[in-house]
Amino acid sequence: MVDLVLNNYIKTSTYQYIIDKLNEDGALHFSLIDPDPIRQSPNKAAKMAILAEEAGTDAILVGGSTAFDQAYVDKTIELIKKKVEIPIIIFPGGVANVSEKADAIFFMSVLNSKNPYFIIGQQALGSYLIKLSGLEHISMGYLIIEPGASAGWISDAKLMPRKKPKLTAAYSLAAEMFGFKLIYLEAGSGGEKIPSEILKLCSSILNVPLIAGGGVNNKEDARTFVESGANIIVMGSFLENNLLKDKGASLKVIIDEIKETAIESENKKFQKL
């Protein structure tokens, strides 16, 4: 479904689309699809993207910690692009995820990694490719909270403690002060969700949009996230387990809940940086 905001984004940028759509809806839902040959073929990924768009998701994220094959990532994005109108954003697990076929890339830094390779190293390696391809890059500070799952292990993160919200809030604020346009809090795929106290504290001090993901599986999870101040909810495993089975029906229930909760809650407005 093409609405006004989407039309406008086609003329401007994906980042502009995110800000405008957030200001219009109050909260967004992004669908994460992993271009991993062990998980799904590009064809299956495209079918999932169509169903997610029909269910009301606001963007498709393509990426994963274990996607190492550039050609496979290209093929997956190319097929999805033919089938959906919403933006496709690369959520890179590494340099091999850079593909000029997408609309944009989250140019992200794992700020609580113990290894500088994940903070600036692989970003430096990918920077020329991104520049030359003209791919829109949206800077994003990424923080991995306990338990962290594969993302935490692969990025060698010093996991943010679940019971110390102030630590994650301080890292988030520092990321905003560095100029990151988005802050992404990740608890790891398929694991325990980010505690509400962390989301509440981060949301209360940040001026940039707060993305949250990991373990969101039902409308109650989604409602809690939005009520706690998450502006964008990312879901991955749920899509893999349910989208094709029920043709997006259960995802629609969750996305409707996100939009309704956002209308009920008082949401801050965002400005483009």
Query: Which residue of 19, 186, 202, 228 would you call a contact of ligand 1GP, by CB under 6 A?
Result: 186
List phi, psi (to 5°) of 267: -105, 140
The CB-based long-range contact list for 71-78 (8 Å cut-off, 24+ gap) reads 72/35, 72/36, 72/37, 72/42, 73/35, 73/97, 73/99, 74/99, 74/101, 75/35, 75/42, 76/33, 76/35, 76/42, 76/45, 76/46, 77/35, 77/101, 77/102, 78/42
The least distance separating ligand 1GP from the CB of residue 46, rounded to whole angstroms, comes to: 19
Piece of the chain touching ligand 1GP by CB under 6 A; list 21-29, 48-56, 162-170, 183-191: 183-191
DSSP bridge pairs for 110: 142
CB 138 within 8 A of CB 181: yes
List phi, psi (to 5°) of 208: -100, 160
Which residue, 99 or 242, has its beta carbon nearer to ligand 1GP?
Answer: 242
Q: Per CB under 6 A, does 147 bind ligand 1GP?
A: no
Q: Per CB under 6 A, does 236 bind ligand 1GP?
A: yes
As a whole number of angstroms, the distance between CA 102 and CA 223 comes to: 30
Piece of the chain touching ligand 1GP by CB under 6 A; list 44-52, 155-163, 186-194, 256-264: 186-194
Which residue, 5 or 87, has its beta carbon nearer to ligand 1GP?
Answer: 87
Q: What mask of x and - would describe binding to ligand 1GP in positions 20 to 59, judged by CB under 6 A?
A: ------------x---------------------------
Query: Which residue of 126, 152, 215, 248 would you call a contact of ligand 1GP, by CB under 6 A?
Result: 215
Taking CB atoms, the residue at the shortest distance from ligand 1GP is: 213
Q: Per CB under 6 A, does 97 bind ligand 1GP?
A: no
Q: Quote the crossing angle between the two packed helices 249-264 and 219-227, to the nearest 10°.
A: 20
Q: Per CB under 6 A, does 214 bind ligand 1GP?
A: yes
Q: Which residues bind ligand 1GP (CB under 6 A)?
A: 32, 186, 189-190, 213-216, 234-238
